[in-house]
Structure 1
Amino acid sequence: MARKKKNVGAYPTGRILFSLTLALLLIGACGLLAVQSKRLVTQVRESNEVRAFLDNDLDSTSRLALADKIAQEPFVLADKATSVRYVSKEAAAKEFIAETKEDFTRFLNDNPLHASYRIRLRETYFAEDKLKEVKAALEKMDGVFEVVYPENMVDNINRNITKIYAVMAGFALVLLIIIIVLMNNTIRLALYSQRLLIRSMQLVGATNGFITKPFLVRGLTQGLVAGLIAATVLCIGWYAALFSLPELTVLTDPLQLLMLAGGLIVLGMLIGLLSTFQAVNRYLGLTLNELY
């Protein structure tokens, strides 16, 4: 069977589309990792609780009024049902015994622990200076005996998160530069087959703008198609992962995923357009001897 002959000067559209789609998929995977990492960090920060221990002589009416007052503070998460949680003296004793494996009730006739409210804060207040402000505000309220929070853990978490973000940002930047350079070279090599066509158009009097326009439209279209394919594959892959691991649902933000998909499409169009523009301009300025 005879092999199909390639047309002289044929433009490798399929190869460019495949390469650009893979590059955008890799960028999208890094972006998805960054987005979900941000959601995970938010979950970690908002899962930590400030403990407001209550006066022992606080009656139930005053206690409920105090809960409503705490829930209205700007540093508390919006959902009162999960953000302000009451723990009685008895429940606190059971927690203490379970954690320390020591039953103090065997040698004490009374429960020395205080009832408390476990308060979840907004992520923006997960910092040492902000937590001190929260502690001071809560301790001014009537019925609050003492407020405590995990000081060392807050500093360690924030320090480690900063390091992780720095490493991820550096890796993503290097990866983006490498991919842009590789795609630029790929499109330049693809346009190498069109160099004589460009020269022929120049010889018949075509202006640079007239010559460049169809190439730019093709580069823009290829970037658009590659971006759409990459965004679709990325979204399908993520929701397939959610189907297998429903626990990941808490990390899912449809709006951020949609913005990431849109960013991939725009980035694909920019890469296709700018790389094509640069390559065409390069061949427009070459002499006949340089073209050969």
Structure 2
Amino acid sequence: MARTKKKVGMYPSGMILFSLTLALFLIGFCGLLAIQSKKLVTYIRENYEIRAFLDKDLSEKKTETLYKTIAERPYVLVANGKPQVNLVTKDEAAKEFIAETKEDFSKFLGENPLHDSYRIKLNEGYFEEAKLQEVKQDLEQIDGVFEVVYQENLVDNINRNITKIYAIMSAFAVILLIIIVVLMNNTIRLALHSQRMLIRSMQLVGATNAFITRPFLGRGIWQGFLAGIIAVGLLIAGLQLAIHNLPELSTFQDPEKIIFLMVGIVGLGVLIGFVSTFQAVHRYLGLTLDELY
């Protein structure tokens, strides 16, 4: 029975493909979490409201003028072409208070002491305690504004927690990437073990290192590309399944960044396949005959 001839660059690749696909999937999953987290943070910041209470007994015309004045401020969030400034009358505020506390203050006060107010959403860049103080001072200088209130110190606490979460996620991603590169180097090196004598034979007949390395690199690049495509497919399928079961997640999607992430995963797969294969081949190219055995 004739023995099958070994061809340079042809080695068992199933485990490499599986390992690299799994690694890229984990990296992509971390990337998706980061994108979703960023959108969630933006959502929280842009839905944070400050309240500008108005002087009592303002005319309807004066109230409308105040709206226009506030809406023109650079810190006011504009969504779908509309400034996010909403009027809440004192009667509406009273109904909200009674619904929350289950106490009707009008029965023993005899009147509604609350003020009409504008609830204002701010641009994400103003989600800092110092900038909120500046916004508060600016609004309180407007004629007709009685007082501006917001939950002090809450913003700084949220920002600190967000910074901690990002730091932990970044550290985890870096550690994961280092582990993956090391594991892929070892996996490809083991896969190339069956080709070490063939590499040595080609060196003995005068083949250059570049000539020997080329087919291995081509295979490594192809494996990285294929693993990236499979990982992207799994990520997209998983994301669609998650959105199907939890429709609220669609609010936190960022198509442009997700596409960039998917392209990056394929590119990373190609890069890992190329670098790991290059390092593994050159290790065997530099071994002596005794070391090969």
Q: TM-score, normalised by structure 1?
A: 0.93
The residue number in structure 2 matching 1:238 is 239
Which secondary structure state, in structure 2, belongs to the residue aligned with residue 50 of structure 1?
A: strand
8 Å Cα contact 1:224-1:268 kept in structure 2: yes
- Per the alignment, do residues 54 and 265 of structure 1 end up closer, same or farther by CA in structure 2, a change over 3 Å counting? same
Alignment: residue pair count: 288
Report SS of the residue matched to 2:103: coil
The residue matched to 2:109 in structure 1 has which SS?
Answer: coil
Deviations 1:225-276 (A, max 9, x none): 1111111210121012111211111111111111111111111111101101
Q: Could you say which residue in structure 2 is the equivalent of 1:54?
A: 54
Shift of 1:66: 2.0
Q: Does 1:119 align with 2:127?
A: no
Q: CA deviation at 1:29?
A: 0.9
1:149 partnered with 2:150:
yes
SS in 1 for 2:56: coil
Q: Alpha-carbon deviation of 1:165?
A: 1.7
Counterparts of 2:29 and 2:91, CA distance in 1 = 48
Q: Distance in 2 between matches of 1:74 and 1:190?
A: 60
Is the Cα contact below 8 Å between 1:28 and 1:264 reproduced in 2?
A: yes
Query: What SS does structure 2 have at the residue aligned with 1:194?
Result: helix
Other-structure match for 1:177: 178
Q: Secondary structure at the match of 1:118?
A: strand
- CA distance in 1: counterparts of 2:257 and 2:216, whole angstroms: 33
Corresponding residue for residue 74 of structure 1 = 74
Where in structure 1 do 4 or more consecutive aligned residues deviate above 4 Å? 5-10
5 Å-filtered alignment, 1:214-225, equals 214-225=215-226
What secondary structure is seen at the aligned counterpart in 1 of 2:97?
Answer: helix
> Does the 8 Å CA contact 2:71/2:83 hold for their aligned counterparts?
no
Match of 1:24 in 2: 24
The one-letter code of the counterpart of 2:110 is N
AA matched with 2:162: I
Could you tell me which amino acid in structure 2 is paired with residue 114 of structure 1? H
The amino acid across from 2:45 in the alignment is: R
Instruction: Write the distance in 1 (CA, Å) between the matches of 2:241 and 2:68.
Output: 41
* 1:103 Cα deviation after fit: 1.3
Aligned 8 A contact 1:235 1:257 in 2: no
Q: Amino acid of the residue matched to residue 284 of structure 1?
A: L
Q: More deviation in 59-68 or 265-274?
A: 59-68
TM-score calculated relative to the size of structure 2: 0.93
Counterpart code for 1:62: K
Distance 1:7 1:88 in 2: 86
CA contact (8 A) 1:128 1:151 kept: yes
Q: What percent identity do the matched residue pairs reach?
A: 64
Separation of aligned partners in 1, 2:160 and 2:208: 58
- For residues 53 and 61 of structure 1, the distance between their equivalents in structure 2, rounded to whole angstroms, comes to 16
Hey, what does 2:265 align to over in structure 1? 264
Provide structure 2 residue ranges, at least 5 long, that are not aligned to the other structure: none
Compute the RMSD of aligned alpha carbons: 1.8
How far did residue 214 of structure 1 move?
Answer: 1.6
Name structure 1 gaps, 5 residues minimum.
none
